[in-house]
Amino acid sequence: MHTRDPQDESGPLPEALRQAIRGTADDIAALLRSAPGTAGAVPGSQWTVGEAAAHLAMANELMADLAAGHERPYGDGTPQSLAPANARALAAFGERRAEPLAAMITEQAGVFLAAVDRADTEAGDAESTGAPTPITPLGPMNRAVLASYLLTHMLGHGYDLARAVRRPHMIDGDRVGLCMPFMLSVMPRVADPAATARLTARFAVRLRGGGTVFGVDLAGGAVAVTEGEPERPDCTLLIDPVAFLLIALGRRNPWVAIARGQVFAQGRKPWLGPRFPALFTAP
């Protein structure tokens, strides 16, 4: 009989995360099917609706392959390499029609979840500690964090598509909370060396309404992210969860969020608050 520590994140995905992945894929598919066409521009992007949807379809397939244990090199593991890799992949994939792309996005989300279940079952049957850790475009991640990555990626581009077709987006506080395993794991990797080089500070970040709290320590160019309330933070940030995700993914100007009351800084050094978003580049 296979048993697993409940704190082991390599185990079966939380049902809420599974539902969020399926639900977000379905929401994106509905947006595409409601669009009058796919040639329109995505606001704030060089892509059309069809290109953004094609990217999502291919990315979901990539994530499903990674969850199944297949090697899929994509870029060189740095955020800077992703844009050229995306451009090459789009150039090689010609589908831009709404219906085939909508079907592929939802299908590959399901394939991903099935691959995670299969990997966990095989690990249990082998009485091992888990299947090999997938190597993703942003470094190695266990499958629970990879699932959080998939959800985060779909929400970011789903938001773009919703704006493009002028429909409500699908991001809410619950889904943002499910993105946090990926966000916390990737923050040190996407820190901007020029912005963090000469800054020594400790931040506490609280997402309003969701109970998510984490700490970020910067010293000597190193960035450490920890779950929970850090001791003696210099600056505590209270952030609306939707605004947090949109800022982190480069979809919302931090100053606009501050002006709207979505971000509030307090503590011994509240003036550090506005500097926080600029410490990281969008993954």
- Check: CB of residue 67 under 8 Å from CB of residue 115: yes
Whether the CB-CB separation of 281 and 192 falls below 8 Å is answered with yes
Q: For the domain 15-172, what is the CATH code? A: 1.20.120.450
**Average pLDDT estimate for 271-276:** 95
Burial of 36 (0-12, 13-18, 19+ CB in 10 A): exposed
Q: Residue 177, Cβ neighbours under 10 Å: how many? A: 20
Domain extents for the chain?
Answer: 15-172, 193-279
Predicted local distance difference test score (pLDDT) of residue 78: 75
For domain 193-279, the CATH superfamily is SCP2 sterol-binding domain (3.30.1050.10)
User: Comparing 15-172 with 193-279, is the CATH topology the same?
Assistant: no
Strand partners, 223: 218
**Looking at residue 79, what is its pLDDT?**
76
pLDDT of 6 reads: 32
Query: Given CA atoms 19, 21, 24, 28 in this order, what sign does their dihedral have?
Result: negative
| pLDDT recorded at residue 130 | 52
Instruction: Quick: pLDDT tens for 80-115.
Output: 889 899 999 999 999 999 999 999 999 999 999 999
Q: What mean pLDDT do residues 228-252 have?
A: 96
Which pLDDT tens digit goes with each residue over 14-51? 999 999 999 999 999 999 999 999 999 999 999 999 99
The CA distance from 240 to 264, in Å, is 9
Q: What is the pLDDT of residues 124-172, one digit of tens each?
A: 554 444 556 888 989 899 999 999 999 999 999 999 999 999 999 999 9
pLDDT of residue 125: 53
Q: What percent of the chain lies above the pLDDT cut of 70?
A: 92
Q: What local confidence, expressed as pLDDT, does residue 1 receive?
A: 28
Which pLDDT does position 257 carry in this prediction?
96
pLDDT on residue 271: 96
* Tens of pLDDT, residues 188-231: 999 999 999 989 999 999 999 878 999 999 998 999 999 999 99
Whether the pLDDT of residue 10 is over 80: the answer is: no
